[in-house]
Amino acid sequence: MAASSTGLRYPSNKKTIYDRNINRTKTSELSRAAFAYLFVEMITYAQRRVTGIADLEKRLNTQGYPLGLRLLDLLLARTASSATTSPANLRPTRILPLLQFIHTTLWRHLFGRPADALERSAANAAEYMISDNDPLVNGYVSVPKEISQLNCAAFVAGVIEGVCEGAGFATDGVSAHWAEGAGGGEDMWPGKTIFLIRFREEVMEREEILGRAG
């Protein structure tokens, strides 16, 4: 290929992104220290010129969002290629499979274990909660007292939001909350975080129609 005429520049090892293997996962574990350092830098970056906690969490959310869009397709493709019994590529079309995908597949990919709980809100049928007793992202984050509301797992909430919206499940936002006062387990797990997913009305409508169709 005439690289000069197209203006295309190859990396020095002559391998473009298209020459890499999409399924190489064995050696892909990253150093936790490196991640913690990078994450701190991301928070610092997001913290510049913010007006409040909500604003900062919004920025962290925005940083995670594109990651969710990518991971959705990547993990769907990987599960399809590893399943020898059914080579069919499947997309989640209902809420429950989507949430299970997040709870299990996504969590295992990101943090090496499934999330700790998946619940539906008793108050609002369109709200679902995924809880993590000890989020990896918060491992080295100590929040100052004056902004104790802040939960930096808003970044992970952004990833979840990206997965949901990418799959065609519009949300009114996904947010990360400390479990304090929500009852149960906060003594044993001081860092317990609940991710609240609020699906839009049209998603619930579609879910109902699909449910009736069987």
Partner 1 sequence: MSYYFAIIGTKDNPLFEHEFGTSRQGGDGVARFREDARHMNQFIVHSSLDIVEEVQWGGGQMYLKHVDSFRNSHVFSFITGGNVKFMLLVAPDTHNASRASSASTARSSTYGQVSTYNPTAPSTEEPIRNFFIEVYDAWLKTIMSPFYQVNMPVKSPVFRGRVAGAAKKYL
- Shortest distance, CB of residue 182 to partner 1, whole angstroms? 32
Backbone dihedral angles phi then psi of residue 47, each to the nearest 5 degrees? -80, -15
Structure tokens at 111: 């943090």
- Interface ranges with partner 1 (CB under 8 A): 1, 6, 8, 16-18, 20, 22, 66, 69-70, 72-74, 76-77, 88-93, 97, 166-168, 206, 210
- Shortest distance, CB of residue 92 to partner 1, whole angstroms? 7
Backbone dihedral angles phi then psi of residue 119, each to the nearest 5 degrees? -135, 160
- Shortest distance, CB of residue 60 to partner 1, whole angstroms? 18
- Cα 16 from chain centre: 27
Distances 3 to 11, 12, 17 between C-alpha atoms, Å = 12, 13, 16
Measured CA to CA, the distance from residue 39 to residue 19 in angstroms comes to 29
Structure tokens at 37: 């350092």
Distances 2 to 5, 9, 17, 20, 65 between C-alpha atoms, Å = 6, 10, 18, 21, 36
- Shortest distance, CB of residue 45 to partner 1, whole angstroms? 15
Give the residue among 136, 129, 190 at the shortest CA–CA distance from 160: 129
- Shortest distance, CB of residue 65 to partner 1, whole angstroms? 10
Measured CA to CA, the distance from residue 73 to residue 199 in angstroms comes to 20
Measured CA to CA, the distance from residue 203 to residue 182 in angstroms comes to 26
- Shortest distance, CB of residue 147 to partner 1, whole angstroms? 30
